[in-house]
Amino acid sequence: MAINEELLNFVRDALAHGLLRTQIEDALLKAGWESSQVKGALSAFAELEFPIPVPRPKLYIDAREVFMYLLLFATLYISAFNFGKLIFQFINQALPDPAVPPGFALRIRESIRWSVAFLIIAFPIFLYMSQLISRAIKRDLIKRTSKIRKQLTYITLFIAICVLFGDLTALVYNFLGGELVLRFLLKILTVGIIAGAIFVYYLWNLRKEESESKA
């Protein structure tokens, strides 16, 4: 949400005159400003002992950064999907379904080839972009405040938790129907491990950065 320029100037002047943040907030709320706007304006300045208000770095988005993060997460999704698909086909080969026609084996081999091809292309790009972005953040810590980075990270967490929810639901559904077989259990486990690993890693990364920023 963009902060009103007039409000921002008022907060800057009030802080410069030595007024407490609670006093400023109380006055603005009484004047009719919304609480979210007031908190946003106050948070634009660091709580430091300094003669004049010190502005915090603004969140920003640039085209190069958008491209880098879109490519990073796109290759992550492609790699995760095709890795899971590859494991599925190995399971199908190791534990064939008697009800499946013999010609299905050819389709399995084709599917394996496609999955391997996608992984050969997408996964190295994902690793390269991860290292590139990591180095950029180490050089300039302000890049952690990138809007597109946080938005795509939370979208990824949402997708991962939805997949895990669906995975567990399918497991319970088949368990209640008495239809649990080894093939199904192995596939459910595959999906759970892939989605769970992605969720845990990005959640850990977010919490780590939040703790470091507060330190």
| Sequence-distant (≥ 6) Cβ neighbours of residue 73 within 8 angstroms | 152, 155, 156
**Residue 126: burial class (beta carbons within 10 Å; 0-12, 13-18, 19+):** buried
Asked whether residue 120 falls in the same domain as residue 41, the answer is no
In terms of pLDDT, which residue wins out, 107 or 192?
192
E strands in the chain: 45-46, 54-55
Residues 26 and 112 in one domain: no
Please give the tally of structural domains in the chain.
Answer: 2
- 72 shares its domain with 120: yes
Both tokens of residue 163? 């997949």
Identify whether residues 175 and 104 lie together within a single domain: yes
Taking the CA atoms of 154, 156, 157 and 161 in sequence, report the sign of the dihedral they define. positive
- CA of residue 13 relative to chain centroid, distance: 37
pLDDT exceeds 70 at position 60: no
Task: Say whether both 50 and 98 belong to one domain.
Answer: no
Q: Looking at the predicted structure, is the pLDDT value of residue 113 above 60?
A: yes
What is the arithmetic mean of pLDDT over 173-200? 88
Least confident of 67-81, 95-109, 199-213: 95-109
- Ranking 33-42, 154-163, 196-205 by mean pLDDT, the lowest is 33-42
Asked if 87 and 51 sit in the same domain, the reply is: no
- Examine the pLDDT at 1 and tell me if it is beyond 60: no
What range does the domain containing 47 cover? 5-55
Q: Are residues 148 and 113 in the same domain?
A: yes
Q: Predicted confidence band at 96 (pLDDT cuts at 50, 70, 90)? A: confident
41 with 118, same domain? no
Confidence of residue 86 (pLDDT cuts 50, 70, 90): very high
Q: Which of 15, 32, 55 finishes a domain?
A: 55
Q: Are residues 32 and 108 in the same domain?
A: no
Q: What is the pTM of this model?
A: 0.71
The pLDDT-based confidence of 162 (bands split at 50, 70, 90) is very high
Q: Supply the pLDDT for residue 49.
A: 84
pLDDT at 59: 60
67, 149 Cβ separation under 8 angstroms: no
Q: What is the rounded CA–CA span in Å between residue 3 and residue 174?
A: 51
Same domain, 146 and 176: yes
Q: Shortest CA distance to 209 belongs to which of 164, 149, 157?
A: 149
pLDDT band at 179 (very low <50, low <70, confident <90, very high): low
Q: Are residues 73 and 176 in the same domain?
A: yes
| Predicted confidence band of residue 104 (pLDDT cuts 50, 70, 90) | confident
User: Tokens at residue 181, please?
Assistant: 């077989």
138 and 32 housed in the same domain: no
pLDDT at residue 193, as a whole number: 95
What's the pLDDT tens digit per position in 8-56?
A: 899 999 999 999 999 999 999 999 998 888 888 898 898 888 888 888 8
The confidence score (pLDDT) of residue 160 equals 95
Q: What percent of the chain has pLDDT over 90?
A: 50
Residues 119-134 have pLDDT tens digits of 999 999 999 999 999 8
pLDDT at 82: 96
